């Protein structure tokens, strides 16, 4: 027992010691970092999803660099088709006058109106002063097939503004058997004129114990500008070539009323639930899956390393593709 006590005292004494360890900084060559998803639809300026569907260009930093990472507005970005013809060029800037949550530097707007076509191959190439040119190639996926979608209110109401409630959302699709498919589902609330309702939201009901939560199963994605945990892709591993349904209990809030100095109070009345399902490229699926793992584990010192997957070479980031199908559920 005396020997055991001595060992414990020695252990506690060592635990109380402090020492400074100098870690050598890994060598680093700054490289272009880019995030962009090519869509088969024209750019929709009414959706927050547009932020990931414009190029955002920045650069990598040293491990111990503490400066805020900023976007770069001096990049040259082009997209070529299979024959080497330039089919899209971009200019620096955001297509709306206001900034995106105070951030506008680094975003680029298309100038030639390219919409990706299923089965076509596109190569994105980006250059920037002081950096090595980067590129990435993808083949556009096929459009999802939405057979049906339902929105059943479980509690609360759907009339007028300032309404909140709970509902059951079900989306039925037929999977393409010839390819691997990676789906993400987004939902937004529209008024009776088909315009997005301001100050409204709809999201997975995490408080409901009956929601269908399983590892690797379907969760509703958000069109938030932040790409990390909000995009939740679903792989067709268990449903390849079949008709299947994605279901989730959701909560919704309808703000509905807004005003400005130049106009009186206007109230939008809920008329539609719009479902958008994206089929993304495999690289995009891997990127968003790894970004979720990265954000879920970055504050946990005991977690396994979760590096980001990327396909921008010799830089960092994602050139992804997405084909969209939209289905509107009329409520009245």
Q: Which residues of 203-217 are buried (b: 16+ CB within 10 A; e: fewer)?
A: bbbeebeebeeeeee
| Domain interval for residue 179 | 145-280
User: Can you name the residues that pair with 200 across neighbouring β-strands?
Assistant: 254
CA distance 165 to 35: 35
Instruction: Name all contacts of 153-161 with Cβ < 8 Å and 24+ positions apart.
Output: 154/249, 156/252, 158/254, 158/270, 158/331, 159/269, 159/270, 160/254, 160/256, 160/267, 160/269, 160/270, 161/254, 161/255, 161/256, 161/257, 161/267, 161/268, 161/269
Q: Does residue 152 lie in a domain region?
A: yes
| Tens place of pLDDT per residue across the chain (332 aa) | 444 344 333 444 445 556 676 767 788 899 999 999 999 998 877 676 666 788 999 999 887 777 777 899 999 999 999 999 999 999 998 765 444 444 568 999 999 999 999 999 999 999 999 999 999 999 999 999 999 999 999 887 766 566 788 999 999 999 999 999 999 999 999 988 998 887 788 888 877 755 444 444 567 887 654 444 578 889 998 899 999 999 888 999 887 676 667 767 777 788 899 999 999 999 999 998 888 777 766 666 666 766 788 999 999 999 999 999 999 999 87
Overall domain count for the chain: 1
pLDDT of the residue at 248: 87
Q: Does residue 153 lie in a domain region?
A: yes
Q: What is the CATH number of the domain that holds 273?
A: 2.60.40
Q: Does residue 225 lie in a domain region?
A: yes
pLDDT of the residue at 305: 67
- Count CB neighbours of 259 within 10 A: 10
Q: Does residue 176 lie in a domain region?
A: yes
Alpha helices in 42-191 (DSSP H): none
CA distance 89 to 124: 10
pLDDT of the residue at 24: 78
- The DSSP secondary-structure symbol of 49 reads G
Q: Does residue 262 lie in a domain region?
A: yes
Q: Does residue 196 lie in a domain region?
A: yes
Q: Is the peptide bond before 142 cis (omega within 30 degrees of 0)?
A: no
Residue given tokens 């001096």 in the structure block = 74
Joined together, the tokens standing for residue 58 give 């920045």
Exposed, middle or buried: residue 74 (CB in 10 Å: 0-12, 13-18, 19+)?
A: exposed
Q: Does residue 56 lie in a domain region?
A: no
- How big is the chain, counted in residues? 332
Q: What is the DSSP string of 26-44?
A: PP----EEEEEEEESS---
Q: What is the DSSP string of 110-138?
A: ESS-----TT-EEEEEEE-TTS--EEEEE
pLDDT of the residue at 5: 41
**Which of 215, 188, 220, 193 has its CA nearest to residue 204?**
220
Q: Does residue 129 lie in a domain region?
A: no
Residue given tokens 């004129």 in the structure block = 193
């Amino acid at each position: 027992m005396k020997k055991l006590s001595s060992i414990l005292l020695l252990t506690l004494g060592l635990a109380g010691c402090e020492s400074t360890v100098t870690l050598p900084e890994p060598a680093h060559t700054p490289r272009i970092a880019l995030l962009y998803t090519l869509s088969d639809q024209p750019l929709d300026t009414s959706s927050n999803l547009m932020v990931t569907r414009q190029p955002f260009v920045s650069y990598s930093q040293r491990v111990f660099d503490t400066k805020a990472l900023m976007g770069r507005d001096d990049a040259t970005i082009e997209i070529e088709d299979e024959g080497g013809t330039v089919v899209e060029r971009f200019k620096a800037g955001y297509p709306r006058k206001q900034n995106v949550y105070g951030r506008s530097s680094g975003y680029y707007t298309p100038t030639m109106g390219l919409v990706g076509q299923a089965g076509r191959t596109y190569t994105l190439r980006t250059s920037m002063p002081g950096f090595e040119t980067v590129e990435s190639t993808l083949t556009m996926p096929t459009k999802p097939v939405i057979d049906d979608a339902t929105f059943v209110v479980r509690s609360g109401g759907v009339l007028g503004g300032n309404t909140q409630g709970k509902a059951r959302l079900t989306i039925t699709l037929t999977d393409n058997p010839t390819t691997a498919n990676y789906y993400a589902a987004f939902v937004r609330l529209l008024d009776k004129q088909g315009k997005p309702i301001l100050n409204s939201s709809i999201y997975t009901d995490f408080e409901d114990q009956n929601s269908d939560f399983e590892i690797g199963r379907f969760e509703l994605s958000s069109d938030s500008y932040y790409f990390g945990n909000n995009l939740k892709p679903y792989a067709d591993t268990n449903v390849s070539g079949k008709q299947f349904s994605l279901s989730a209990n959701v909560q919704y809030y309808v703000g509905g009323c807004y005003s400005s100095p130049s106009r009186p109070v206007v109230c939008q009345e809920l008329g539609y639930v719009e479902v958008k399902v994206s089929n993304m490229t495999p690289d995009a699926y891997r990127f968003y899956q790894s970004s979720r793992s990265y954000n879920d584990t970055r504050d946990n010192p005991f977690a396994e390393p979760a590096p980001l997957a990327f396909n921008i070479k010799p830089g960092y980031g994602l050139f992804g593709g997405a084909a969209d199908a939209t289905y509107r559920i009329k409520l009245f």
